[in-house]
Structure 1
Amino acid sequence: MFVRIFYIKLFTFTPESQSLKMILNRMKEEKFTFIKTDKKIVKLHFDSIAVIKGLGNYVQIITIENINHTYYKSLKDLIDVLPNEFMRVHNSFIVNLTNIDSIEDNHIIAKGNKITIGKTYKDCLTKAINKFVL
């Protein structure tokens, strides 16, 4: 009796996919990135990002200098590659925890931007903020 076993290889790690994975991991360690906005490529330091607002398939990146950059990427994809100091606090907003000025009731004030905290994100945000409370 002969038994044949067949299997399907779903994904192969090519040098291109490995390098993409390495680039995504390095992005989390870097202090800046480049984004393509308004037909140009702009260098953007993570420290200078105050708020990221979701606009469907686009995001609006608001810096601490109140400069807005529109970038083609969804919030879901973006949160995966951002450093750990970024946290999603609403279905439409990601904030940089280092640039939060104050938290009032259900709102975050980050460099002059008032953002509502979503109910599903409040517990996670509270835990993250409590690590820094004296």
Structure 2
Amino acid sequence: MIIKCVAIDDEPLALAQISEYIKKTPNLEFVGDFENGLDAVEPIEKQDVGLVFVDIDMPGINGIDLVKSLIRKPYIVFTTAYSEYAIDGFKVDALDYLLKPISYSVFLKAANKALRMKELELSYIEEVKTNSEYLFVKSEYRLVRINFNNIKYIESQHEYIKIHQTSGNDILTLMSLKNIETMLPSQFLRVHRSFIVNKEKVEVVERNTVVYDNNVRIPVGEQYKEKFQEFLSKGF
């Protein structure tokens, strides 16, 4: 198993160090390093990068805002000289947080954590069986059948997803939103980096927000508005 990696840091020496660590670590593939975070967005999105080492305190766009802007979210390890950023880093579901100067042993521990998470994710995906009417997902050591027509929406929760069902029996499973998206039929639509909705269960839309009962409100992200509007226009 290989995880593609990029390094982002406005300090050339720190950037060179992390890049060298990536290159010499088994199962990590070095894709590139960037002093400007915005230059890294396209490679991350288009080259299936799975792990990003990124400094937080950078000019222009900082590391946290950069991570928030990503549509496809890889594992994130923040690197910084300032411990006060730790809470902000974990608020965006960072896998780890490394304080500079960073030794190789500390780097390797974070890299191995990402590799273990990837192995877990792949093992769960292999156990998912799917057809045109339902799929099975693993939840608490059980395989649970989920009928597509019973799904209202799917929500990302850290490394897990929560499948909200019309029956009220919500299912939590270790999987990324990206991976389950590839298993869903065309009646499902991604509307936010953290949400997929069942188009057949959308009944109320208010100001680019999908509203469900119990006052659940799902915002439509900027990157997904065009496809969402196409879906709405077909209903008129």
Smaller-chain TM-score range?
Answer: 0.7 to 0.9
If each structure's helix is expressed as a fraction of its own residues, which one has the higher value?
A: 2
2:200 equivalent among 83, 88, 98: 98
User: 2:142: which partner in 1?
Assistant: 40
User: 1:57: which partner in 2?
Assistant: 159
Deviation digits for residues 24-57 of structure 1, max 9, x if unmatched?
A: 9x94x51111111122111110000001001132
If each structure's strand is expressed as a fraction of its own residues, which one has the higher value?
A: 1
Deviation digits for residues 64-98 of structure 1, max 9, x if unmatched?
A: 12221111110111111110111110110000000
Alpha-carbon distance, 1:111 to partner: 4.8
Alpha-carbon distance, 1:116 to partner: 1.0
When structure 1 is superposed on structure 2, of 108-117 and 61-70 the one drifting more is 108-117
Using the size of structure 1 for normalisation, the TM-score is 0.73
5+ residue gaps, structure 2: 1-127
- Asked whether 1:67 is paired with 2:143, we answer no
* 2:149 alignment partner AA: D
Name the count of aligned residue pairs.
Answer: 108
**Where do residues 107-118 of structure 1 align in structure 2 (5 Å cutoff)?**
107-112=209-214, 113-118=216-221
Contact persistence 1:50–1:111 (CA under 8 A): no
Q: Which runs of 4+ in 1 moved over 2 A?
A: 110-113
Superposed CA RMSD in Å reads 1.8
Which structure is higher in RCO with an 8 Å CA cutoff and minimum separation 6? 1
Contact persistence 1:85–1:98 (CA under 8 A): yes
Measure, in 1, the Cα distance between the counterparts of 2:168 and 2:209: 19
5+ residue gaps, structure 1: 1-23
Measure, in 1, the Cα distance between the counterparts of 2:185 and 2:132: 8
Measure, in 2, the Cα distance between the counterparts of 1:105 and 1:54: 22
User: 1:16: which partner in 2?
Assistant: none
Using the size of structure 2 for normalisation, the TM-score is 0.43
